């Protein structure tokens, strides 16, 4: 419980401090030369620091994580940056999952009652499929995919497998967008740098997530998420048919 309280305190502190102000395309570009130099001379240390920061941000569900993913592509390239982001996200998710599983689960199950226990049993029976659906479909918060399996007592193996497979497409797509940032947003980047040189105060880059991930790509993720649920739906249909036939 102490660890869980510490996590909440850290998350609240970072949010109050204004984490999102320091994680943006503008801040990445302002610090680019310094970070490029660090990566060039201390690649291993830079990667380790990046993965640790990503794990903290993803685990605490802090706003602005998408810019960390873009930054991974900018500074490490699409492949290495994407793998580093995927590693950090999985590590952060796993830490939260384990804390919730071993600290919160028994307390929450007692509080929620028998209906929650039945739901947890049903979720656990097809944990990989349900969790893969939550990870693939981008409308569900990342934290939901960490906490719900923990409260349902899902095993670590299915959790890790579904997490890695489910978040890999979006993570890699955004990292590759970061790797091509200079060409993709070239006019805006040049305008932003000129604005900084003019010492103006309202310098910014107009970024929307659809610039990195197209609606067609999102639709594909949703389709994959629905496909992940098909085995569960088919099994439930067959069980209902058997029950009807027996009566």
* 8 A C-beta contact, residue 43 and residue 132: no
How high is the pLDDT of residue 151?
Answer: 87
For tokens 């040189």, the residue is 197
Token pair listed for 79: 């492949």
Residue ranges of alpha helices (H) inside the chain are 2-17, 19-22, 25-30, 32-41, 43-59, 65-76, 78-99, 105-112, 114-125, 127-136, 144-151, 156-179, 181-184, 186-197, 215-246
- Range of the structural domain that residue 203 is part of: 2-246
* pLDDT at residue number 129: 92
Q: What is the pLDDT of residue 19?
A: 52
Cα within 13 Å of Cα(198), Cβ side:
10
What is the domain count for the chain?
A: 1
pTM: 0.80
Tens-digit pLDDT string for the chain (247 aa): 444 444 444 444 445 445 555 566 777 777 777 888 888 888 999 999 999 989 988 988 887 788 889 889 989 999 999 999 999 999 999 999 998 888 877 777 777 767 777 878 888 888 999 999 999 998 888 988 998 898 888 999 999 999 999 999 999 999 998 888 877 777 777 777 778 777 777 777 777 666 777 778 888 888 988 888 888 887 776 767 666 556 5
Q: How far is CA 26 from the centre of its chain?
A: 21
| 3-state SS assignment for residue 212 | coil
pLDDT for the residue 214: 78
């Amino acid at each position: 419980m102490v660890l869980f309280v510490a996590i909440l305190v850290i998350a609240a502190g970072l949010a109050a401090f204004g984490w999102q102000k320091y994680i943006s395309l503008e801040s990445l570009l302002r610090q680019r030369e310094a970070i490029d130099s660090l990566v060039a001379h201390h690649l291993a240390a830079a990667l380790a620091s990046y993965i640790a920061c990503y794990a903290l941000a993803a685990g605490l569900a802090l706003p602005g994580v998408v810019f960390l993913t873009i930054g991974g592509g900018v500074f490490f390239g699409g492949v290495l940056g994407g793998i580093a982001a995927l590693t950090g996200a999985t590590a952060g998710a796993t830490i939260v999952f384990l804390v919730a599983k071993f600290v919160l689960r028994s307390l929450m199950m007692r509080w929620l009652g028998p209906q929650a226990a039945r739901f947890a049993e049903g979720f656990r029976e097809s944990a990989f499929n349900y969790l893969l659906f939550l990870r693939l479909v981008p409308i569900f918060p990342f934290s939901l995919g960490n906490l719900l399996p923990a409260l349902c007592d899902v095993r670590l193996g299915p959790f890790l497998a579904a997490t890695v497979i489910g978040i890999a497409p979006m993570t890699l797509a955004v990292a590759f967008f970061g790797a091509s940032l200079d060409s993709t947003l070239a006019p805006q980047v040049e305008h932003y740098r000129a604005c900084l040189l003019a010492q103006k105060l309202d310098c910014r880059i107009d970024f929307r997530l659809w610039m990195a991930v197209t609606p067609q790509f999102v639709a594909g993720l949703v389709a994959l998420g629905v496909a992940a649920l098909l085995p569960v739906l088919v099994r439930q249909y067959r069980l209902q048919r058997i029950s009807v036939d027996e009566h």
